[in-house]
Amino acid sequence: MSSHKISFNTAVAIVVANMIGTGVFTSIGFQVIGIQSAFAIVLLWVIGGIMALCGALVYGEVGAAFPQSGGEYNYLSKLYHPVIGFLSGWVSSTVGFAAPVALASMALGKYVNSVFSDINPTTIALVVVLIITSIHATHIKLGAAFQRYATLFKIAFVSLFIICGFIYAKPTHVISFLPDSNSFQDVFANAAFAISLFWVSYSYSGWNAAAYITGEIENPQKNLPKSLLVGTLLVSVLYVLLNMLFLYSTPVADLKGQVEIGHISATHIFGTQMGNVMSMVISLLLVSSISAMILAGPRVISSIGTDVKALSFFATKNKHHVPYVAVIFQSIISIVLILTAQFNQVLELIGFTLTLFTTLTVFGVFILRRKHTNVETSYKTWGYPITPILFLLINGWILYYGFTSKMESSLYGMLIVLAGLPIYYFGRKRVESTPV
């Protein structure tokens, strides 16, 4: 393999690391407030996994047809119009990755502070971002190796936690994962189910991560679809088993409204002291998530710099073919968000728009097959057209409830998107006016 290319295993690691973050260890505490059935809770995570798998299957075809880095920026530019792609890239490159990096880094800092109270969580967050940035801004091979081993540790720990949890848990409550009449009422006649699905989909976000580094993957027409599918399938299985373990090991009353679900569950299974150790290890899992986002996100900025001459400095690479300017730029935004504690607000503002761009990309497979018949692709979406239609139906449901429940934030998010229009047209004008 070329030293400048990312292997299939590293691509899978990037997908897994982007997906497994704080969401799965925190969200069930809020789901059990409005949903009483264990079957309905597990079904939430199954549906989320099906949606992510459908999306990964479609992205595999679109990515194989347009095997360049940049994710939605690349796909939407070619399937719809360059301005649509640019607006998607504008959101991803400015805050779409930088805000989750800030959030995960601060979460890591708070976990460490809960064990070592003398250590400032903000300092930990900043140090983690700076160290990982220095790794990924230096050499693609070094960054890829760090990503593989960090993700391998994450998969091993989560798998061990699930296996040992089911072996050693001694539940004091009765729970059944089989459906009953109340289960279906929770699913079909309960607004809490749809709202919870919105947050479950956030926990699954990252299934498309390898699409952002397509141009740097070895044999992308073959390895991109495989990495998206394998990574997403693996995480989906782990997510369903994890949530079954949380419900099996811990009474629902102890989960309701709680955020530290991993710590609570570990304490019920292994005792207080071991629960604290497990919580510390869970916090370390965030390192691979932060690393994956610092690796993938700058590829969007770099792709924009390649296409828009006014922003060409973002495409600057070092001798190891790393777009180090883009890597540093994204991390500077993350650092600003950490210091100003604005990442939660930013994530809420852009959540709707990021989901919208993903939806447009999946719909684009129909455009690809109808209007781009001359484009050769080594992969076709399994189950087409049912696969993309199923994704669009579930995501449409999520978009509707996400917009109606957070209308003001969604509208502000759209304003952030539209703020990229002047930059796009200014950049294009600069290109058109440049003498040949």
| Per-residue pLDDT tens listing for the chain (436 residues) | 455 678 898 899 989 988 887 678 778 888 888 888 888 889 999 999 999 999 999 999 999 898 888 889 999 999 999 999 999 988 888 888 888 888 888 888 877 787 777 889 899 999 999 999 999 998 888 888 888 898 898 899 899 999 999 999 888 777 878 877 777 776 766 677 777 887 788 788 888 888 888 888 888 888 999 999 999 999 999 999 999 999 999 988 888 887 778 888 888 888 888 777 877 787 788 888 899 899 888 988 888 888 887 788 888 988 888 889 999 999 999 999 999 877 667 777 777 888 889 999 999 999 999 988 887 777 899 999 999 999 999 888 888 877 887 788 888 888 888 888 888 887 665 545 444 3
> Measured in Å, how far apart are the chain's first and last C-alpha atoms?
38
pLDDT of residue 353: 85
Please tell me the predicted confidence (pLDDT) of residue 262.
82
Whether the CB-CB separation of 147 and 291 falls below 8 Å is answered with: yes
Whether residue 12 contacts residue 232, with contact meaning beta carbons closer than 8 Å, is answered with no
Q: For the chain, give the longest Cα–Cα distance.
A: 76
- What gap in Å lies between CA 124 and CA 119, rounded to an integer? 8
- CA separation for the pair 179, 154 (Å, rounded): 32
With CA atoms as reference, report the closest residue to 337 among 347, 325, 327, 324.
347
Rounded to an integer, what distance in angstroms lies between the CA atom of residue 155 and that of residue 16?
8
Measured CA to CA, the distance from residue 82 to residue 109 in angstroms comes to 39
Phi, psi dihedrals of residue 81, rounded to the nearest 5°: -160, 145
pLDDT at 423: 83
Tell the residue number behind the tokens 């949890």, with chain if given.
165
Quick one: tokens of 31?
A: 């789901």
Say whether the peptide bond before residue 171 is cis (omega within 30 degrees of 0): no
Q: Looking at residue 436, what is its pLDDT? A: 38
| Residues written for the chain | 436
Its CATH architecture, for the domain 8-424, is Up-down Bundle (1.20)
**Which of 75, 100, 103, 99 minimizes the C-alpha distance to 89?**
75
